[in-house]
Amino acid sequence: AQKVTQAQTEISVVEKEDVTLDCVYETRDTTYYLFWYKQPPSGELVFLIRRNSFDEQNEISGRYSWNFQKSTSSFNFTITASQVVDSAVYFCALIADQAGTALIFGKGTTLSVSS
């Protein structure tokens, strides 16, 4: 079975703080894909990043960085110097190749950044 766990339900930080959103996944497939999506109050899911299971290289994009560790089945997301515009619900998701092409989402982490 495939599963994504986001243990942090809500996180509140003050602007300019760094924040890390945790994601732990479960799958028996050797080929799988991990994603992060952002959902602002408008509801639309905005794609942030995708990694495949063969590429453990960490990635940085501006203030965003992602740490993929197969040894701990984790794919954590860090926002450096957070801004009010980062306030949203963030979802980690998984596509496990043998299970088709459906995205399996975690329950999401609500990030609130105050000024």
Contact positions vs other proteins (CB under 8 A): 4, 6, 33, 35, 37, 42-47, 50, 52, 91, 93, 95, 97, 100-108
CB of residue 90 vs other proteins: minimum separation in angstroms?
10
By DSSP bridging, strand 10-14 and strand 109-114 are parallel
Q: Which is nearer to other proteins, 81 or 102 (CB)?
A: 102
Q: Which is nearer to other proteins, 16 or 70 (CB)?
A: 70
CB of residue 52 vs other proteins: minimum separation in angstroms?
8
Q: What's the helix, strand, coil split of the chain in %, to 5?
A: 10, 55, 40
